[in-house]
Structure 1
Amino acid sequence: MTSIPFDALACPLDHSPLMRSDGAWRCEHGHSFDIARQGYVHLLPVQKKRSLDPGDSKPMVAARRRFLEAGYYAGIAEAVSQRAMAALNPMITSGNTVPAVLDAGCGEGYYLRHLNAAAGELPLSMIGVDISKWAVLSAAKREKACCWVVGSNANLPVLPASLDLILCLFGFPSYGEFARVLKPGGRILQVDAGADHLKELREIIYPELKPPRERDSGAPEGFEERASSTLRSTAVLGGQYPIADLLAMTPHLYRGSAEGLERAATLSTLTVTVDVVIREFERQLDRV
């Protein structure tokens, strides 16, 4: 495996380059950020936090890890890795650069680990960013070939024009920031829930389902849409624990009715539809 951690980090306080030295990342203006013993770095300033412990909680991260490791979303990971490698292979084979990939909202690192495995001996430089310290801690424990950072998509601690590909899976895209940190011609691979995603679970926990929101058919400013596809499958959740984990890793746990959550807790099996939309955007050359 020839993947290497991404190192084009920017100081979250003054945006100058960070250099790694003596167990910390430091900028020329004296700001210093310690590297945790697990290998990650916290680059989310206190003044940028909206709560004391933003993002997914420790139990939510544990639930997501168990659910994903059980393989229920393996088809999504495979499809994303295939699309990512198709975009990155021309750069790798040219031999001029090691492509840099960022997972924006990386969670516990499942999709970035899958991409790393798909790359095999091909070189990649990878970074995962998430606002949850519990998610980043879990990711750093599992994979040492990536740079793991506690940070925000709204203020990515990354130098301008330093990335070739951004993954944003079930996350919160910040297209202005993505345009800033992507090289011209760089790509975004974005995965969003489709209209029928987890429909069977939602039918149980909500009194009625809201009509699906219409998807924006246009590309974000500064980008051109290169491809769009839908991935559909079914997942059979056998036992109360996978069902509980799926609920715990989604906002539905907090939005569902009390009666609906009680009904879900009594289930011994549930078959759900996995329905996602995968879109690929390319950063245009005239973006400044």
Structure 2
Amino acid sequence: MITPFQALACPLDGGPLRRHGTSWRCDAGHCFDLAAQGYTNLLPVQQKRSRDPGDSKEMVAARRRYLNAGFYQPIAALVSRTVLANLPAGRAAACLDAGCGEGYYLRELAAAGDGQRLALLGLDISKWAVLAAAKQDKRPNWVVGSNAKLPVLPATLDRVLCMFGFPVYAEFARVLRPGGELLQVDAGPDHLRELREIIYPTLKPERAAEPLSPAGFSVLPAESLRYTVTLGGAEQIGDLLTMTPHLYRASAEGRAKAAALTALSLTVDVRLTRFRREAE
């Protein structure tokens, strides 16, 4: 059962936000309206680095099509299974997807967690991503915000997800309860290798480094996942390229080579690293 997420914090003063009708308000009087589409913008203009930060509308649409086609469903299943293991009993477990994109992994978690009480929050700096997430599923709370200053009260979360994103360990440590876990998914050395071999002249050798323990965390056993997918058609290949940083890193010649493909077999290679929040 998905329950409302109640641990939002004012991005201006850090105080608790409380829901009043179609807005969130703190004791200092700051007010943030709930958009008609079902999300809240908690990214003040002074915290923006550009006028329209994060993924563009086109990148979000491409990611939505690609993920909804199921190519990363095994990743979502692994993450959901790990999140749901050993959750606290007697209350709703609070989980944040920090950099949620268009919400795919939280939707999969909500489906997998049927029967468990979960309070889910999806946060992304891209308003287009949060808008797409809110349109697809009303069960989690969706907010526009920044990992650099999470609009979440201290020590209120049981799980934080960072999926191919930009971890801000100090903030993750602040919002996790002691014993809570950070689940970080990163690309492995062979992730999308076949695509990278097409769009780049040469590939840089990648070294597999053991994860260091960030301040406030202890490292738990990691897990790797590797499998093959086949993309059929230029649209799916184009969506994959559009939704990744490779779109901007590849040369015009490399992008042209990818655009000429009609099918592509790809290696998916990811690593799930877990960190436990230590007691102070």
8 Å contact 2:3–2:92 — kept in the other structure? no
8 Å contact 2:123–2:145 — kept in the other structure? yes
Supply the RMSD in Å over aligned alpha carbons.
0.9
How much does 1:218 deviate?
1.7
What is the aligned partner in structure 1 of residue 121 from structure 2? 127
How much does 1:227 deviate?
1.6
8 Å contact 1:207–1:257 — kept in the other structure? no
TM-score (structure 2 length as normaliser): 0.98
Query: Residues of 2 paired with 1:206 and 1:51: CA distance?
Result: 29
Query: Residues of 1 paired with 2:81 and 2:210: CA distance?
Result: 24
The alpha-carbon distance between structure 1 residues 37 and 192, as it changes in their structure 2 partners (threshold 3 A), is same
SS of the residue corresponding to residue 86 of structure 2 reads helix
What is the aligned partner in structure 2 of residue 218 from structure 1? 212
How much does 1:145 deviate?
1.1
TM-score (structure 1 length as normaliser): 0.95
What is the aligned partner in structure 2 of residue 37 from structure 1? 36
- Number of residue pairs matched? 280
Ranges in structure 2 where 5+ consecutive residues have no aligned partner:
none
Query: Residues of 1 paired with 2:163 and 2:210: CA distance?
Result: 17
Superposed counterparts of 1:234-249, under 5 Å: 234-249=228-243
Superposed counterparts of 1:1-288, under 5 Å: 2-88=1-87, 91=88, 94-95=89-90, 97-286=91-280
Query: Residues of 1 paired with 2:146 and 2:211: CA distance?
Result: 26
SS of the residue corresponding to residue 87 of structure 1 reads coil
How much does 1:53 deviate?
0.4
Query: Residues of 1 paired with 2:72 and 2:200: CA distance?
Result: 23
Query: Residues of 2 paired with 1:216 and 1:9: CA distance?
Result: 34
Ranges in structure 1 where 5+ consecutive residues have no aligned partner:
none
Query: Residues of 2 paired with 1:64 and 1:73: CA distance?
Result: 11
- AA aligned to 1:42 is N
Query: Residues of 1 paired with 2:121 and 2:204: CA distance?
Result: 36
How much does 1:213 deviate?
4.5
8 Å contact 2:62–2:239 — kept in the other structure? yes
8 Å contact 1:236–1:269 — kept in the other structure? yes
8 Å contact 2:148–2:168 — kept in the other structure? yes
How much does 1:226 deviate?
1.3
Query: Residues of 2 paired with 1:130 and 1:194: CA distance?
Result: 23
SS of the residue corresponding to residue 80 of structure 1 reads helix
8 Å contact 2:160–2:183 — kept in the other structure? yes
Deviation beyond 4 Å, 4+ runs, structure 1: none
